[in-house]
Amino acid sequence: MDKYEISRKIEEFAPSELAEDWDCSGWGVDVKGRNEIHKAMLCLTVTEDVVNQARKSGCDLIVSHHPLFYVPLEWGDMNIYSAHTNLDRTKGGTTDTLIRSLGLIVSGEDDFLRYVDCEISVEDFIKKLRQISPNMRYVNNFDRKMLNRIAFCAGSGSEFINTAKEGGAEALVTGDLKFHTALDSDIVVFDIGHFESEILVLRVLASLLRGVQIIYAQEQSPFIY
């Protein structure tokens, strides 16, 4: 399959205009004369190890979620394409995939946030989240027992705590929660990890690349618990 046909399919699903202005989604490396793609590696983040995996596996292309803000010269022989904030914001993208994996249904949205309306105890919701993130942590400063509306933002979304509260949510599910943000939060915040909240979206990217052999990179969260 031609590589520009692949990028077209991805952008039909996650239009590039949905990306933030600062984002570097799109072609990080576009190798001239290497257009035909037979095998593609999917990953969350492009690292030297992932590039080496792709080379050893005979891949013609790497498709990642996180974009490249700097491209080492030695990676110049590998096509690399990224879909970042456009994949986060599009319907069926990163956060929607996380919600669907939990067996829940989106009931509303607000930019990067998605909302789920359901009556569930905090204790039972913790059990549900630990199915995909065994080492999750959470903040419940006011000892809330029940949840009726939960906001979700895959990746790093703790900046949206106030937005989630204004949207009627009693809780937010995200990653990368900082100490002072946790200390000040008056809603429940579940930090399931940046990696854990986003890695599931690779299945969506794979579904867009039918006709190309897909290999998933061997990668994991850098944190050790």
Band of the pLDDT at 114, cuts 50, 70, 90? very high
Band of the pLDDT at 225, cuts 50, 70, 90? confident
Terminal CA-CA length for the chain: 41
16 has pLDDT over 90: yes
Q: What is the average per-residue pLDDT within 61-76? A: 95
DSSP codes of every residue in 38-99: SEEEEESS--HHHHHHHHHTT-SEEEESSPPSS--GGGTTSEEEE--HHHHHSTTSHHHHHH
Q: What percent of the chain has pLDDT over 90?
A: 99
Residue with tokens 């867009």: 208
DSSP letter for 36, please: B
pTM of the model: 0.96
Mean pLDDT of the chain: 97
pLDDT tens digits, 123-167: 999 999 999 999 999 999 999 999 999 999 999 999 999 999 999
Distance from C-alpha of 203 to C-alpha of 112, rounded to nearest angstrom: 20
Is residue 68 within 8 Å of residue 50, measured between CB atoms? no
Tokens of 123: 């204790």
DSSP letter for 56, please: H
Domain annotation for the chain: domains and CATH numbers: 3-87 (3.40.1390.30), 91-197 (3.40.1390.30)
